[in-house]
Amino acid sequence: MLELEVEGLESLTNDFEQQVAKIEHIIPEALSVVGDELVASLQKHVKKDVYEAYKPKVYKRSGAMVNPENMGVYIKGNTLHFEYSFNTESAEPYFTDSDDVIAAIQDSSYLWNVGDMNIPERPFWDEFYMEEFGDGKVDSALARGINRYAPELKARATQGSIIFDGKDSNDLHGSELRGTIVFPREKK
């Protein structure tokens, strides 16, 4: 009969629990880095994909779409909420709210888009969304945020997860170690 006695598991469990507690504690701070990068990225896309892609002939832009005050980043626990809403400043009732404006810009569905007023599609929201979420920039921003507040964790982003000091977070503790990002629109 073979007897095997393993020592040190209690210490390993305690170390693991301390690491998990540290990660969970800094996630809200790390998400603030993600929020800052989302605001900067959306501003870049509005400038490039909307403002530079078409110069209006009939109206003057207010700059509301690019104003960071209209891009809200709210962090509650391990969840980041990103809100984007602006005053349409339309003299006529063309748009009910900023979602209507975004949809019209995206697919060029303006009521007055006829004749020489041919305004092109400017899918800035889709471009922003794909760059941040499709290309994994959000995960990289979260890893940078974690490393800013706890560099000893050596976080890095890889294929939709965050790895801490060489150990995949999904193997260690499931997705609870990652922050959640709530976005108002889903990619179509």
Distance CA 82, CA 35 (A): 7
State the pLDDT at residue 148.
94
- For the chain, give the percent of residues with pLDDT over 90: 24
Distance CA 145, CA 136 (A): 14
Averaged over 44-63, what is the pLDDT?
83
List, in order, residues 6 or more apart from 51 with CB less than 8 Å away: 61, 65, 66
Q: Kindly list the domain boundaries of the chain, sorted by start residue.
A: 27-139+172-182
Distance CA 142, CA 132 (A): 12
Place of tokens 């900023």: 98
38 has pLDDT over 80: yes
The pTM is what?
A: 0.75
Confidence of residue 164 (pLDDT cuts 50, 70, 90): confident
Averaged over 125-154, what is the pLDDT?
89
In terms of Cβ atoms closer than 10 Å to its own Cβ (0-12, 13-18, 19+), residue 54 is middle
Max distance between CA atoms of the chain, in angstroms, equals: 90
List, in order, residues 6 or more apart from 149 with CB less than 8 Å away: 26, 29, 30
15 has pLDDT over 80: no
List, in order, residues 6 or more apart from 89 with CB less than 8 Å away: 62, 64
Confidence of residue 170 (pLDDT cuts 50, 70, 90): very low
Q: pLDDT tens for residues 1-13?
A: 565 555 555 666 6
35 has pLDDT over 90: yes
What tokens were used for 126?
Answer: 């889709």
181 has pLDDT over 50: no
Q: pLDDT tens for residues 95-123?
A: 778 888 888 888 877 655 555 667 777 88
Contact 146, 155 (CB under 8 A): yes
Write down the mean pLDDT value for the chain: 77
What tokens were used for 171?
Answer: 């193997």
